[in-house]
Structure 1
Amino acid sequence: MVGSQLVLRRCPKRSLLVMLPLVAALLTGCGGGAKNDTFDLNTAVSADGPAARNRQILVPEPTALSALGSDQVMVRVSTSEIQYLSKAQWSDKLPRMVQAKLVEAFEDTGKLGGVGKPGQGLAIDYQIVSDIRAFEINTAGRRANVEISVKILNDRNGTVIAQKIFSAASPVAGSAGNTAFIRALDAAFATVTAEIVDWTLRAI
């Protein structure tokens, strides 16, 4: 965290100071030896959907473009340019984190007969197939954006019974440091997760 600066990094190695609306962005080379702060996501979700205790669901790892498929925290500098938050990383690759947090959120409701990941041997009724479309800090709007597309697949006949795109934005509060950025992403993800869980319980 560098005061009110948003620190980003990209390859190839070069340094460039760019002034952006509301935030100063320092672009640095990727490959430095500094240790990164590691961040996780919150799973506290309250779902209002009905119980489906006679249903078991499978949550595969979400798909995502390669830019979102790593443990780096994406920052959108413009509509066509992305960077990554310097000295910060997720505790795992983002798709695996989202998968794990969705499983936890479904389990924590206590409203399903079972929730699992591929390979755990559950007799599955439905698969929750998802694609991460956005999981980023937007510097121009000074906000976090999360967007996830979800399909509910009948595991017995391969039919998609419902599909929907979930999105949420959360403002970056306080100083523009790494912790503030992650908190905004966490808040947006919590909103999306709660909506996914509630919608799924109503659909199955």
Structure 2
Amino acid sequence: MILNHLMGLYTHPKQEWHTIEKNHEALKSSMSHLLLIALIPAVCSYIATAHIGWNPGAGEPLFLTSQSAMYMSMGMYFGLIAGVFGLAYLAYWMGKTFDAKPDFTQALELATYTATPLFMVGFAALYPVLWFIMVVGLVGLTYSVYLLYTGVPIIMNIPEEKGFIYASSVVTSGLVLLVALMASSVILWSMGFGPMLQ
């Protein structure tokens, strides 16, 4: 069932990771979760930028044209999915270094469920005030990192000491991936694909 681990990851994460590890789902199930949960930040950002208006802290709220907001939201949606796949591939690739033998589905489960709190932060876009988004985003990022550190030893079936180093490597790779996605956005904006204000 889609989203069947969502509440468990928030209420009892370690037990939920054990449940995920015991009942490895098909690739289709992880993909369904990812495709659905990635809609949250994309749709909420579209509503906020096209209809509510972003409040940068001073002056009037900024609005994007509906077409521009749609393009930005679609780009965000596919960028988030690509980011999770990139993180899953890096976790899969690094597994051999830490004596783990994951298949790609396990790595995708780890990346997808770890990214879930970050995607849920997308609801905060419906109150588009910069300081609020930053605070909620920081909370979501912190919880995602916590899920990663608790999930790696369980999903990859390795000791906690190795799991800590493995998770630290995945966090570092994820930050590099995030910077690469942000740089891609800047390059695309400079080529004329940037947002259009109303």
Scaled by the length of structure 2, the TM-score of the pair is 0.30
More strand per residue: 1
Structure number with the higher helix fraction is 2
TM-score (norm 1): 0.29
